[in-house]
Structure 1
Amino acid sequence: MKLILTAPVEKLGIAGDVVEVKDGYGRNFLMPQGKAIRWTRGAEKQIEGIKRARDAREIRGIEHANEIKAQLEGLEVTYAAQAASAEGKLFGAVTAADVAKAIKAAGGPAIDKRAIEIAKPIKTAGAHLVGIKLHEAVSAHLTVNVTAASK
């Protein structure tokens, strides 16, 4: 099966690449996850747009990644969870998308939620360490303070 990747897939390629995969992998994993679209002549024209969008948000080299790392590690990131018990236990978990929004709200750069690595699900209020993979050789670590929103 011939597919066009719309997101980076480890050990397969990056957005905009045309790849050949087994039918089941493409049909059951890549396409439902939104990581690929079926290759057609019409879709071939979309590749340039996908590559332009990738280049616009891509980190350009190790120097750029180190700049963003310095910017991220100097941030005070706070996320107000919607609901929590009296003991500070959340009625859900803080996701990578929530962390990305909190970083943007704190004045940081726009980070792709797929680059955020949460080792253990965040289900309690307090300070939690989150990793962000900026480049193959550069990772940033950030403390996210989760607070329970008062109602």
Structure 2
Amino acid sequence: MEIILLQDVERLGSKDDVVSVKDGYGRNFLIPQKKAIVATESAKKILAENIRQRAHKEAKLKEEATKLAEQIVAKKISIGAKTSTSGKIFGSVNTIQLAEALSKKGFEIDRKQISIPEDSIKEVGTHKAVIKLHKEVKIEIEFEVVAE
């Protein structure tokens, strides 16, 4: 029996895969649990159209992320922090402060998309961070931590 998977099934396949399974497994387990549908000709056509449309949307999102990445790299980002006389920061600078600094520049980026290679930044100076705008678009930006 040929079926189209509606979600990932361990040791069988990923979502939208067309796979062959034994009749009982498909009819008694996968289809009743809404993990698959029978792969009729019309279902295969619908699947092909959905995959085509999803690919088009994905290409558009990737293009937008690439444009945004070019704009972010062009900006200079600085974060103010309270420091001691020796240049050590009280507390630390993390992704939340970096996301706020980016929003002040006009870029709405979620802090979960930002990763700082060091655990936490505790000194004034220039540091690097990686921003994941899309699953295929990652950029590395430099930002400066300055004393307030």
Q: Which residue of 1 aligns with 2:61?
A: 61
Are residue 144 (structure 1) and residue 143 (structure 2) matched?
yes
- TM-score computed with the length of structure 2 as normaliser: 0.57
Aligned residues: 88
Root-mean-square deviation (CA, aligned residues, Å) is 1.1
Which consecutive aligned stretches of 4+ in structure 1 deviate over 4 angstroms post-superposition? none
- TM-score computed with the length of structure 1 as normaliser: 0.56
Structure 2 stretches of 5 or more lacking a match? 1-59
Deviation of residue 108 (structure 1)?
3.5
Deviation of residue 140 (structure 1)?
1.2
Q: Which residue of 1 aligns with 2:47?
A: none
How far apart in 1 are the matches of 2:92 and 2:126?
14
How far apart in 2 are the matches of 1:101 and 1:86?
25
- Identify which of 85, 89, 108 aligns with 1:110: 108
| Matches for 1:15-54 after TM superposition, within 5 Å | none
Deviations 1:64-105 (A, max 9, x none): 110110011001101111x21222111111111100111122
Q: Percent identity?
A: 32
Q: Which residue of 1 aligns with 2:133?
A: 134
SS of 1:84's equivalent?
coil
Structure 1 stretches of 5 or more lacking a match? 1-59
Bigger Cα Rg = 2
